[in-house]
Structure formats: C-alpha cells, structure tokens
A and B are shown apart, each in its own frame.
Chain A
Amino acid sequence: QQQVKQSPQSLIVQKGGISIINCAYENTAFDYFPWYQQFPGKGPALLIAIRPDVSEKKEGRFTISFNKSAKQFSLHIMDSQPGDSATYFCAASFYNTDKLIFGTGTRLQVFP
C-alpha cells in the first residue's frame, strides 16, 4: 500500500528525443507527487511536483502527467539534452505528512 513502482530502470534517448518515465502507486490517500533529479555524486534535487487536482503540470521541458483513476503519473522530458543524463526518482506522500515514499529510480542517458 505504501509502494511506488517506477519504470523503466534505465532509459537511453537520443538528443532531442522525448524521455518518458512512469510511476504507479497503490495508496489512494497519497496527494503529493514530486520528481527528483540526481546527478552522480550529488544529492537528489526537486525537479517538479503535482497534486491530484490537476492532470498535468509543465515547467519548461519537464511535464508531469497524472492519471488519478489509474493511479499513475509520469515524467516527460521534451527535447532531451545530454545534460539531462541523471537518475530520476518519483515519489509520493500525504500532503500533511513529512514522509516521502520514493520509487526505485530511472537512470537516463541522453546521447548526442
């Protein structure tokens, strides 16, 4: 009930392509869904987040799509760049608690 399943484990995309990472959750009480980006040797950094009252949120080249009925959400990176190469984590939490449940991570490699 507290799990967040993330796929794929790794992703290779050419420069300019679209990267798509998917997550699914079980607990319908989750109401905050952030994505974190982690570069090698660094800590995770908040990239973009969404709440279930909207189906999509866009910030620059990064978009979260949210499907409440399917209990799924995904990160789309448009015009992927080599600088986007990193590990991406989805997460979920209850809005009024401090505990984030992280997905297992997706290693994205963008080749020029």
Chain B
Amino acid sequence: DTAVSQTPKYLVTQMGNDKSIKCEQNLGHDTMYWYKQDSKKFLKIMFSYNNKELIINETVPNRFSPKSPDKAHLNLHINSLELGDSAVYFCASSQGSLAGRPNEQYFGPGTRLTVT
C-alpha cells in the first residue's frame, strides 16, 4: 500500500494554463505539506495543513492555492502557470509536531511539472 500518493506523476502544460495536483495519505497523519524541488534539487516548503487548517504559508505566489477537503487529502491548484513553475512538487505528511512527536515527514513520489 502506498503511504503518500500523488497524481499525476508527470504534468506537461503550456504557460497560462491552470492545473491541479492531488495528494492522498493513508498513514492517518494529521499534517500534510507541499514542497517544491527546483532543478538544483533544492527543497523548499510551500504550505502545510494540520487537520484541514492552514499552518504554514511560505512566500509563494498567490497563483498557488492549496485545498484540503479532509485530513487525508491535500491538493495543489496552480493558476496561470509560468515557465518558472517548472519543478518537481512533493506532497508529504507527518503526525505533526503539535502532537508532541518528532517531525518525521513521509514524502510522496513527486509530480514533475513542465511548463512550456
């Protein structure tokens, strides 16, 4: 069973389009995250949600909007895609530090977004 899954794995689209990436975790975790990994492999957090509530909202263009319909799902919608949005986007989940546990994050396989 896949712990953290993302769809699609690859996404190729043109500038200006709107696209969504979906994430689901079956670990029973309360906290979910979106990360962006650029071409130099640098990993940067974008958002985190704890039990459907936005906790972390880094300096990300407001074209990026996360949505958490329930604590097992966290989707990422991107409007008006730009060339610079090309990257690998990772979803992750954890039990959450609010539970007093270490922040052990489990990552999905990633979605490679290519904007042409």
Chain A contacts to B: CB under 8 angstroms: 32, 34, 36, 38, 41-46, 49, 51, 87, 89, 93-100, 102, 104-105, 107
Contacts and interface: CB of A to CB of B under 8 A. Distances in A.
A32 B90 contact: no
A95 B102 contact: yes
A104 B41 CA distance: 7
A34 B50 contact: no
A44 B109 CA distance: 8
B104 A95 contact: no
Given A98-B94, A99-B56, A43 B103 contact: no
B34 interface: no
A69 B104 CA distance: 25
What 6 A-B pairs are tightest by C-beta distance, nearest first?
Answer: A43-B107, A102-B43, A105-B41, A44-B107, A96-B97, A98-B48
Contact of A43 (B41, B98, B110): B110
Contacts of A36: 107
A4 to B, nearest CB: 11
Nearest to B50: A98
B44 to A, nearest CB: 7
A108 to B, nearest CB: 13
Nearest to A105: B41
